[in-house]
Amino acid sequence: MTVSAHGLDTTSGLTTAEAARLLAAHGPNEVGADRRVPLWARVAAQLRDPLIMVLLAAVALTLAIGDHPDAVVIALVIVVNTIVGVVQEVRAESAVAALSRLSAPAARVLRDGEQRRVPSTEVVPGDVVALAEGDIVPADARLTEAAALLVDESMLTGESLPVAKAVQPRQKADGVVQAGTVVLRGRALAVVTATGADSALGRIAALLRPRPEPTPLQRRLAGLGRVLAAAAVGLCALVFVLGLLRHQPPGEMGVTAISLAVAAVPESLPAVVTLALALGARRMAARHAVVRRLPAVETLGSVTVLATDKTGTLTQGRMVVERLWTPHSTATLTGLGYGPEGRILLDGAADDETRDLLTTAALCNDAALRPPTGEDGEWGALGDPTEAALLTASGKAGLDYERLREAFPRVAEAPFDSVRRRMSTVHRTPGGGLLVCLKGAPEAVLAPAVLAEPPELLEKTRRAAAELAAEGFRVLAVARRNLDRLPDPPEDAETALRLLGLTALADPPKPSAAATLAACRRAGIVPILVTGDHPATARALAVRVGLLEPTAGPGAVVGGQSLAVTDLAHARVFARTDPRQKLDIVQAWRARGAVTAMTGDGVNDGPALRQADIGVAMGRRGTEVARQAADLVLADDELATVVSAVEEGRRVYDNIRRFLVYGLAGGAAEILVMLAGPLFGLALPLRAGQILWINLLTHGLTGVAMGAEPVSPGAMARPPRPPHQHILGSGVWQRVLLLGLVLAAAALGAAIWARHGERPWQTVLFLALLAAQLGTVLGLRERLLNRANLFLPAAVLASAALAAGALYLPFLRDVLDTVPLTWGDLAAPAVAGLAGFVAARLRKRGI
């Protein structure tokens, strides 16, 4: 609920009774969580997946034919996949709960005429809260008193620069503070206007609640599951009817038909998918990308649009002075971050002017630098990031700001506010005089009332400031003068100053940003920039990182006010966006069929991170809300890690498709053998036990081992898969049929050869079909001699040994109804294995 501060007594605040009444009326100041979904409902949702339903039917079939080991294995796959899915869903829904933890744990309020510290959950509309440096604002509030108040709103707005607040602001938003923002400097009193769900955090929480849709892989596997289910039922009925027409015993044909139906379904597919995703997640973790939801691993490989935040993602996340301008020279500064490393490269010989400019900027300054601590070895800043950047620049000029402050102690100041837009300090000089130092926005400093400079110089400086601002810099003008006595008030000293020059500050792009975006484009991914910053700042960065051409027109950057009338899926740079608009941008791309990845670090990014196909949060500087809403967390805050993750996602998807070619081709070969065998005089080509044994050896260790195959060369040089492409699309199902025909022909040829030679043809057929499939799995490898996945050749050898055991171990011979083969009899299965290998190598391309 919104209340007005007008008429409230801010000296005494609410009474205890009034606060209790308002708390009962409006509820606690916390973000409410969604109603908990029962565990049984979560499990039921997982079991409704079509592929899982096929596996459930496979369990029933294997139990019906008495194949208890296979039934146990398939059931275990179902249980593991269901547990993983439920656990990941529960973890993802903790995003809203993180909002409550983000709120200030306590707040200082005026109650009954005295200041009290109360839990932030007890803050109510109408409360008068006291704010000071370092405080987290407990609720949305309107300022009634403010002194040099500077607030970091980046977590809510995405705006990289802190915002000055005032009781009588130039803009309405500058007179209010919002829940969850941080006070960087100054103090204030404010009347609470909104709490809980009505606050800024509450409104963002409401946007977080829509549930994400299935990933592309889940949609593709669901479609495949429906196809396999229908095919399995149809084949089961067809084989049973054909057997009866050939006067085969109904009981034997029923068991055979059920076994063939089970063989037609690659029941190890969930195990292959889980292993591939798990290995992908492990590889990503080694590359500083922590996966929170396993399906996200593959989804990254399908990403077609990457929406990236600016501050801390494409940029350093730290303000840096990059240019200096004085009336007689310009200078460029090198170096990143707050450390003193870097140089000042002068364009001219006026070194004294540059030094005077940076000395004044260091004195008219309330920030401090913090030397490196911990493992990162990076300098930090205390106070306004802009002022910290000025201190860093002075250090590059060889100045020690701490010694400067000792030599020129401050005796008075006129703090910055949003009305005056400048700050001045008065210092005692070593000679006993006074020095006035001033910095501020050019339009507030470059005026005859402030500077004692000729109009020509003022106009020249204004043009220089406009040019720097057009390049996306934040520009400050710096001036100073000497005084004999201290004026009262100190603001009266802000006249007749001498202009020293301009400082141009920016949050520079990371060294890897341009190369990362170029890599995205080579991989067919469309990068877009979505930021809460000013359009000029967004445009300048987009040009620097190659997202926009320098000649791009004004319409290349879409501002927040224009989003409603813009085709969002055609723009590439969005500025001044709020959380709702970020959500609209993601939804607009998804409506066009794109698979979207969204990066972010603030609370304002949470809804879009949750809505995107892949939400990517920053691990170091990101908020807890962003991390909980995301599918992927970058431990190193580097966008280049996303490109590495995309490569890993493509590897996973390629391996899943490679397994499907292998598994379905083998199943198709078994079906063709059973249907075509009788036409060649092979009345019952394979028995039920033999079919299941082939299925166990081919879809077991060898199939699962395919999920660990390394990435294909050139994976990042091709465009992503079309989002709506079937998992067997792009020629894969044709490859399955062709390979199935080759395998079936090779196996039947071996059986016919054995039958004409009066050899044990059924055992030869059994071994030939198994050998052909093992040859196929080796032939489908991208690189034959590759040590990256020794598990696969080891699995093939193990399967071959178990196949031999079926012929030469008495127990298995009795169960599978096979006979030992001589060395001469093994020639035909060996040729079938070679045929499978050659066919797979010839049709290797296109996975």
Q: CATH number for 295-315+511-637: choose from 3.40.50.620, 3.90.550.10, 3.40.50.1000, 3.40.190.10.
A: 3.40.50.1000
The answer to whether the Cα torsion of 327, 330, 335, 341 is positive or negative is negative
DSSP sequence for 753-822: HHHHTTS-HHHHHHHHHHHHHHHHHHHT-SSSS-GGGTHHHHHHHHHHHHHHHHHH-HHHHHHHT-----
Residues contacting 824, CB < 8 A, separation 6+: none
CATH number of the structural domain 270-280+649-712+721-842 = 1.20.1110.10
pLDDT along the chain (847 residues), means of 10: 47 85 87 63 72 68 66 64 60 44 67 84 90 82 85 70 76 78 82 85 64 61 71 75 78 64 64 71 81 76 89 84 93 88 79 92 91 74 87 93 93 82 93 94 93 95 93 93 88 93 92 91 92 83 89 77 65 82 85 87 76 84 70 84 88 85 87 84 78 78 81 84 73 87 95 92 95 93 80 91 91 85 92 94 64
- Give the model's pLDDT for residue 718: 85
The residue assigned the tokens 């300090």 is 425
Domain coordinates of the chain in residue numbers?
16-30+99-208, 270-280+649-712+721-842, 295-315+511-637, 320-504
Token digits of residue 370: 């913090």
What's the rounded Cα separation, in Å, for the pair 450 and 438?
10
CB neighbours of residue 39 within 10 Å: 10
The answer to whether the Cα torsion of 832, 837, 843, 847 is positive or negative is positive
Interhelix angle 250-264/216-245, nearest 10 degrees: 160
- Give the model's pLDDT for residue 235: 72
Hey, is 707 helix, strand or coil? helix
- Give the model's pLDDT for residue 834: 95
- Pairing of β 596-600 and β 614-618: parallel
- Give the model's pLDDT for residue 430: 92
Closest CA to 55 of 40, 71, 33: 71
Class of CATH domain 16-30+99-208:
mainly beta
- Give the model's pLDDT for residue 326: 94
Closest CA to 525 of 606, 589, 604, 585: 589
What's the rounded Cα separation, in Å, for the pair 341 and 395?
8
Q: What is the DSSP letter of 509?
A: B
Nearest 5°: the CA angle 749, 752, 757 is: 125
Give, for 538, the enclosing helix (H) or strand (E).
helix 535-544
**Residue 417 is a catalytic residue:** no
Q: How many alpha carbons fall within 13 Å on the CB side of residue 338?
A: 23
Burial of 3 (0-12, 13-18, 19+ CB in 10 A): middle
- Pairing of β 410-414 and β 422-428: antiparallel
CATH number of the structural domain 320-504 = 3.40.1110.10
Residue of 309, 366, 584, 601 marked catalytic: 309
- Give the model's pLDDT for residue 278: 73
Residues contacting 844, CB < 8 A, separation 6+: 779, 780, 782
What's the rounded Cα separation, in Å, for the pair 282 and 290?
8
The answer to whether the Cα torsion of 319, 321, 322, 327 is positive or negative is positive
The answer to whether the Cα torsion of 117, 120, 124, 130 is positive or negative is positive
CB neighbours of residue 731 within 10 Å: 13
Look at the chain and count its residues: 847
- Give the model's pLDDT for residue 193: 92
- Give the model's pLDDT for residue 639: 87
Residues contacting 138, CB < 8 A, separation 6+: 29, 103, 104, 107, 120, 123, 129, 179, 192
